Structure 1
Amino acid sequence: MTTTPLHNDRFLRALARQPVDRTPVWMMRQAGRYLPEYRERRAHAGSFMDLCRNHDLACEVTLQPLERFPLDAAILFSDILTIPDAMGLGLYFETGEGPKFRKTVRTPQDVAALAAPDAERDLDYVMRAVSTIRRELNGRVPLIGFSGSPWTLATYMVEGGSSKDFRHLKTMLYDTPDAMHQLLDILAQAVTDYLNAQIRAGAQAVQIFDTWGGSLSTPAYLEFSLRYMEQIVSGLIREHDGRRVPVILFTKNGGQWLEHIACAGADAVGLDWTTELSDARARIGHKVALQGNLDPNVLFARPSAIRAEVARVLESYGAGPGHVFNLGHGISQFTHPNNVSAFMDALHELSPQYHQNQHQNQNDGDAR
């Protein structure tokens, strides 16, 4: 594709731990049910997956938040479960219950019957959305692609949907670990192919969402989750369109494993709000950029409280490069857009002081 110069590269510079004029920001579930224009467009599309599969509509809702808020990156509008759907498991959405699969994967025989989809062929609607969004952005901000981690995808495939205790999944892990490894290896191959296809289509950074890695014990996390994310990172395209393509790893409730995650080969580690930024920076901030980590429920508070918490998060990270501001997980569907505006206003007002004189001394912040 023809390379268009980026007008705003704060996000990519922060991931590279380079100086920026203020802390860049984007939000997980950036285009979501909190926006009335999104709800209107989804109703028009007919269903969530119909919206994902229509590249023009997926582009429209990806750009909707950027029309309201001065964000520093766009993120592809899609779903983490597109890969297992392409494997023939029959993804559907039950009102009020979230995603479900018509087929589950619970035995070695079920795993043996699976094959990794071809991303270019079987998920072509995602690639069309990526290329359409990249064209429509026209260099305004970078575009983030994403996938679920193999472990997180497996949770839905084995349980058949969302779960509170992961009973079927963990039974499979402990009873038939070889089958679990086989499943995760297939998924790691699929995710690598999927993210590389997104990069070729125009994604300028990618994030791996390990939403359910935090449900594991430490030995199980290292063996069944992080191991496969490392495999993916090692297989990704890291240079495209003349720029480095940064990779972000995010394990929700994974703060106890930061040192391990930082050694997985990614450029940045995402943090939920249960891990203090100052602690994370002291532990791994010399190796990777950090992304996070405002509690999304702060956005239900009054503007003065939102401002105070934004200031606290900035102070916790401190001066110097390498910070991308984000919510510690996805934005709630019940958040009012006015409160998002209050959040953005506070960040834009307060963050420049943490980036003054960076060109003179980039490393001050990491010498703390």
Structure 2
Amino acid sequence: MKNDTFLRALLKEPVDYTPVWMMRQAGRYLPEYRATRARAGDFLSLCKSPELATEVTLQPLDRFPLDAAILFSDILTVPDAMGLGLYFAEGEGPRFERPVRTESDVEALFAPDPSDKLRYVLDAVTSIRRALDGRVPLIGFSGSPFTLACYMIEGGGSADFRHVKAMLYSRPELLHKVLEVNARAVTAYLNAQIEAGAQAVQIFDTWGGALSHDAYKIFSLAYMKRIVDGLIREKDGRRVPCIVFTKGGGQWLEAIADSGADAIGLDWTTDIAEARRRVGDRVALQGNLDPNVLFGSPDGIRQEVRRILAAYGQGSGHVFNLGHGISQFVDPEHAGVLVEAVHGLSRRAG
């Protein structure tokens, strides 16, 4: 491994600078990504081509000195492999032909075998690891059981999650069945990614923050903890770190820190200094620049980077990232300013 700073920071080992990567770093803000996607024909075809997924995973690393690559894929590959009929409607985002609404829908769910239904993802992981050639670590990922359930039950994105919350408050046992299947599926999927070459994994709990205080612990965090407990944590003589990222999860930091994960991803609404005080030395922290800062001036970007680095303070255990994914409308030059600022300012601070 030529650059393992990201892995060492996740394990709170000494580092020379604060490592940085960006959620959605391979995406529509890059013209080279848009060109590759046009060649693929559509988003799903791009995801399902290991060759093209490798190409777009490496594109941001060819532009910026990032400290990690993240597998190019989508969180909805798992419910797609369950046979729910994933498709992307123009202007509407992801949709499922067969949403999970009834008891019979729930009973028909199964945890897919990753080596069969998701072989294209595992082939992409292997291909990306080979192409990286030890340049930086590769991150694998999945959606959380609750976040996947939101898409599966709503049939796509939602502003109010009325179908999944109706199930939660009227038939909680049905929602638990969905979450149990999802937890088994995600555990197997992440372990298969680790076996194929992923050196760290992240669980994206995009919609956990939409739950009430108690419901989050019961219907989201409890199932992520099951996954963390079931993960392969050592591979090729190294620990495989696990990051849990709940958007809107700032009020549950102590509980997330007790989940067994190595790091907590923070969105931009949480103060990183306060987060560090609350979790102590139990976990590393990842985050947490407001993605919209990248629409500001280069000086404004540097100022916000300096503020977050100072708020975290001295010592390892911080991976710099955005508080959510980078916007498709961001100027790539501004992403470059961010990476340069994190590396330069953290080295001087150290």
Query: In 2, Cα distance between the equivalents of 1:285 and 1:292?
Result: 16
1:219 correspondence with 2:214: yes
1:104-132 superposed Cα distances (whole Å, 9 cap, x missing partner): 10122110011110011110000000000
Identify which of 31, 47, 52 aligns with 1:36: 31
1:166-181 equivalent positions in 2, closer than 5 A: 166-181=161-176
- The total of aligned residue pairs comes to 350
The answer on whether the counterparts of 1:107 and 1:172 sit within 8 Å (CA) in structure 2 is no
SS at match of 2:343: helix
Identity of aligned residues (%): 68
Corresponding residue of 2:251: 256
In structure 2, the partner of 1:158 is 153
Aligned to 1:353: 348
Question: 1:164, CA displacement in angstroms?
Answer: 0.3
Report the counterpart of residue 343 of structure 1 in structure 2: 338
Match for 2:186 among 170, 191, 199? Answer: 191
Corresponding position: 1:124 with 2:119? yes
Give me the CA root mean square deviation. Answer: 0.6
1:47-75 deviation line (CA, Å, top 9, x unaligned): 10100100000000000000000000000
Letter in 2 for 1:242: G
Return 5+ residue gaps in structure 1 as ranges.
1-5, 356-368
Is the partner of 2:82 in helix, strand or coil? helix
Q: Please say if 1:277 is aligned against 2:272.
A: yes
Equivalent positions of 1:126-141 (< 5 A) are 126-141=121-136
2:288, 2:92 → 1: CA distance?
A: 27
Counterpart selection for 1:45 from 22, 40, 52: 40
Residues 1:25 and 2:12 aligned together = no
- Give deviations 1:162-185, integer Å, cap 9, x for gaps: 000000110011111001001100
C-alpha separation between the residues in 1 aligned to 2:241 and 2:338? 26
User: For the residues of structure 2 that align with 1:252 and 1:278, how far apart are their CA atoms?
Assistant: 18
Tell me the residue number matched to 1:100: 95
Task: Find the counterpart in structure 1 of residue 304 from structure 2.
Answer: 309
- Give the drift of 1:341: 1.2
- Counterpart in 1 of 2:326? 331
Q: Gapped runs of 5+ residues in structure 2?
A: none
Quote the offset at 1:343 in angstroms: 1.1
User: How far apart in 2 are the matches of 1:138 and 1:15?
Assistant: 21
**Aligned-partner Cα distance in 2 for 1:254–1:20:** 27
User: Out of 264, 281, 284, which is 1:286 matched to?
Assistant: 281
Residue type of the alignment partner of 2:306? A
> Displacement of 1:344 after TM fit?
1.5
Alpha-carbon distance in 2 for matches of 1:354, 1:206: 28
Shift in Å, 1:285:
3.3
The structural deviation recorded for 1:354 is 3.5
Note the C-alpha offset of 1:42. Answer: 0.2
Instruction: State the SS of the aligned residue for 2:25.
Output: coil
One-letter amino acid matched to 1:291: Q
- SS class of match (1:221): helix
Structure 1 stretches of 4+ moved >4 Å: none
Establish whether residue 57 from structure 1 lines up as the match of residue 55 from structure 2. Answer: no
Deviation at 1:264, TM superposition (A): 0.2
- In 1: Cα distance, 2:346 partner to 2:280 partner: 18
* Cα drift, residue 97 of structure 1: 1.2
1:71-106, Cα deviation, whole Å (9 max, x unpaired): 000000000000000000000011111100000101
Alignment of 1:234-253 (within 5 A): 234-253=229-248
TM-score, normalising length from structure 1?
0.94
Give me the TM-score of the superposition, normalised by structure 2: 0.99
Q: Helix, strand or coil for the counterpart of 1:141?
A: coil
CA drift of 1:353 comes to: 3.0
Distance, in Å, in 2 between the alignment partners of 1:183 and 1:346 is 43
Q: Which residue among 4, 9, 27 is the counterpart of 1:9?
A: 4
Q: Does 1:228 align with 2:236?
A: no
Q: Who is 1:360 aligned against?
A: none
State the shift of 1:348 in Å.
1.7
Equivalence for 1:112: 107
SS of residue in 1 equivalent to 2:260: coil
**In the alignment, what sits opposite 1:364?**
none
Given that 1:56 and 1:129 are in contact with CA atoms closer than 8 Å, whether structure 2 keeps it comes out as yes
* Cα-to-partner distance string for 1:218-237 (whole Å, 9 max, x where unaligned): 11000000000000000000
